[in-house]
Amino acid sequence: MRLHLLLLLALCGSGSTSGALSYGLGGSWRIRSGNRSLELLGTVPGSVHTALFQQGLIQDPYYGFNDLNYRWISLDNWTYSKEFKIPFDISKWQVINLVFEGVDTVSEILLNNVTIGKTDNMFNKYEQCSFSWDWGPSFPTQGIWKDVRIEAYNICHLNDFTFVPMYVRRTQVWNLEIQTFFDVISPIPVGGQVIIAIPELKIQQTNNITLQPGARIVELSVKIKKNTPVETWWPHGHGNQTGYNMKILFKLDKDLTIERSAKVYFRTVELMEEPIKGSHGLSFYFKINGIPIFLKGSNWIPADSFQDRVTSDLLRLLLQSVVDANMNVLRVWGGGIYEQDEFYELCDELGIMVWQDFMFACALYPNEQGFMDSVAAEVAHQVRRLKSHPSIIIWSGNNENEEALMMNWYGIKLVDLPVYIKDYVALYVSNIRAVVFSGDKSRPFVTSSPSNGAKSVAEGWVSQNPHSRFFGDVHFYDYGSDCWNWKIFPKARFVSEYGYQSWPSFSTLETVSSEKDWFYKSKFSIHRQHHEHGNYEMLYQAGLHFKLPQSSDPLRTFKDTIYITQVMQAQCVKTETEFYLRSRSEIVNGKGHTMGAMYWQLNDIWQAPSWSSLEFGGKWKMLHYFARNFFAPLLPVGFEDQDIFYIYGVSDFHTESKVKLTVRIHSWSSLKPLCSTVTNPLVIKAGEAVSLYKEPVYKLLKRCGNCTRQSCVVSFYLSMDRGHQSPTNYHFLSSLKDAVGLLKPHITASISQQHGTFVFALETSAVAPFVWLDVGSIPGRFSDNGFLMTEKKQTVLFYPWKPTSKNELKRSFRVTSLTDIY
């Protein structure tokens, strides 16, 4: 790709000025194909694909098979060009820089037909998954994907500034460490003062500084007095996300003033890897502000193949959905991109912790010096850009590359393995880790995910078994075993990837397909599935416990199949996640103390089957509604072991909870519970999981009207004196395809409106499992969905994301339950 700029006019004059000017070159550019057969206008920031689409030269790239049809775009060379006039007198400025914040990816930059630069790294300032993954299309984009501008300055220029608060435990005070990066072009030193102000903490500090000519880093420190009431930043669900406004003002020689402002948050983070009583391994958990925190959340991928289409509104919608589902963490996965500043700002604001991978994934990388230098520059830039964000709690060198190397994914000969290990250590330890710690000592670093953490370090940075249950974090996938059997899941220290696939809703698929595509074995359905055997595996897993759709209407069968894949996914991930949640406080055969559950994946990059809980555009799948319940701060978890039914209580609260447990048995054939038991007050310690209830299944069934496993279902919830109640959970005593007495319910809904929220008053004629409320393409979410309806009446709220009317909702509303598809 070529970036061709033509400077038409440079205004001349005499004299000079202080300060700095910036002139944006975004907006309209001309784009030309390699053989000049196409020439069009495009927008910067942007990409070739989006420019072609906006000009009507191609369809929506995501429609049908266009990821194949439009491969010619990525295979061609493209030239971006712009003619411009500098609207200021360049003779008054000593330095004029042309700044590209992001170029995708290999390019040559010319100004007035003179080559002035080249790029080969889209993650540096001047995507792996762009080439497809098992959940996304292949759209290797080209373009100027971030801001481009001209900067002019005299005397000196503040190129960047960053900061991080450090808590000194010995003295119990906060030190705010600030780094400022200057380009000093004055031939003599530049003196002056810097004034740092944080008004809410009554801080104003003045320092005298002298800037020597050249590239200079000025390090400043603000020591916050011990008696200053600093409020710390907490993850969502654990406290407030308090931040303080800071201003930095430089008053320099020749009346030069430079001012910057930022939000400062105070928090500490520690990765605890220490011996555990009853186990030969080490723990792996995070302390935030000295408190152990169970990390519950998901993995983030790019929200669109075309980053210029990722708007502020979309980012806020997706991240708000994270906290609305009671999550507190996202892992920014190493096969995507370093997200834009606004992503991290929103995570700070919302209390979403970020596990930040560097952008290396599932591959062996070269060790040539040029590549290593490029990586070092990339990492230094990203650390400097991001380290001020309290949301980022850990840096990780790569995704799955330690596992790939040591599990020999690529068929390396044993005799050659030491060479590959040496190269691995050189890249991720000697290079990336060293650069990280030279720029940021405030948070931990692990070389890979999964990894054995301290154990991998002790083994020379790569472990013989990188997904040990006794150390570090693991990734776990198993599509062949029964996901209702909790014994298949790893009782590991921390699980940072796991999951099951489902299809997105019909209203999402409908926008990129046509009627000929709407059946499960269509060419479209096969093409959209990028995970080998994925469509089969979904139906296999669903068929273990549910009857599969059998309608004579192909479209009805397709819609019902979509529904049953979402039911399967939600129930599988629920079972697995609840196993990890209840494993946090126990050690069994040396395994346990699980302190993190981050399912794969949160969001989608296009409209296709995947592991996501949010569809492309943000619509909630059934799994996301389930996550809202299983990630609740107080939760009862039910399971069986050797025909004994157990209920654990799981708490994320910082203080102990006194609760009562209510257990009810329902017959599938009746809306009246057969029996109900309420326990005496029970105690769940802060942040722990504890066994609250234990009863042989046969006794439970016998005392409740001689139920059988096939004819009854168990529901249960926790309540506290202060009125807090957990979600109502349930436990199936048999596969639902074997359920006896399960009727086809008639479910009606009356809709009313209250201050922008819509109230759905539901009424059912029979017990209804997996009740799914859908309003088609109307953007918004329900307060609950996919639920087990055991009472005649239930009220559910709908929160629209855009203005809508009651009549629009009525026209679009559909309700489905499990027996509707039989």
CB atoms within 10 A of CB 280: 9
Q: Are 202 and 318 in contact (CB under 8 A)?
A: no
Say if CB 609 and CB 528 are below 8 A apart.
Answer: yes
Question: What is the DSSP annotation of 761-787?
Answer: EEEESS-EEEEEEE-TT--EEESS-SE
What dihedral angle (degrees, nearest 10) is formed by the CA atoms of 730, 733, 738, 742? -50
Cβ-in-10-Å burial (0-12, 13-18, 19+) of 236 comes to: buried
- 497 noted as active-site residue: yes
Which of 273, 339, 400, 402 is catalytic? The answer is 400
Collapse the DSSP code of 720 into the 3-class scheme (helix H, G, I; strand E, B; otherwise coil) and give the result: strand
Peptide bond into 725 cis (omega under 30): no
Handedness of CA 49, 53, 58, 62 (dihedral sign): positive
**Residue appearing with tokens 């429609």:** 63
Q: CB-based burial of residue 546 (10 Å sphere; 0-12 exposed, 13-18 middle, 19+ buried)? A: buried
Residue 570 near residue 786, CB atoms below 8 Å: yes
Tokens of 449: 């995910």
Q: How many Å apart are CA 588 and CA 645, to the nearest integer?
A: 18
Does the active-site annotation cover 402?
no
Q: How far apart are CA 660 and CA 672, in angstroms?
A: 22
Q: Residue 167 and residue 226: Cα distance in Å, rounded?
A: 11
- Give CA angle at 251 (249, 252), nearest 5°: 135
Query: 474-476 and 495-498: which strand pairing?
Result: parallel
Cβ-based burial of 614 (10 A; exposed 0-12, middle 13-18, buried ≥19) = buried
Name the active-site residue from 497, 578, 615, 688.
497
Residue corresponding to tokens 């996965």: 333
* Tokens 């060009």 sit on residue: 81
DSSP 351-382: T-EEEEE-S-BSS-----HHHHHHHHHHHHHH
What DSSP character marks residue 427? Answer: I
DSSP category for residue 109: E
What is the tally of helices (H) and strands (E) in the chain? Answer: 17, 48
- How does DSSP assign 116-178, residue by residue? EEEE--TTS---GGGEEETTEEE----EE-S-EEEEEESSEEEEEEEEEEEEETTTTEEEEEE
Q: Using CA atoms, how far apart are residues 243 and 231, in angstroms rounded to an integer?
A: 8
Looking at the annotation, which residues are catalytic?
400, 497
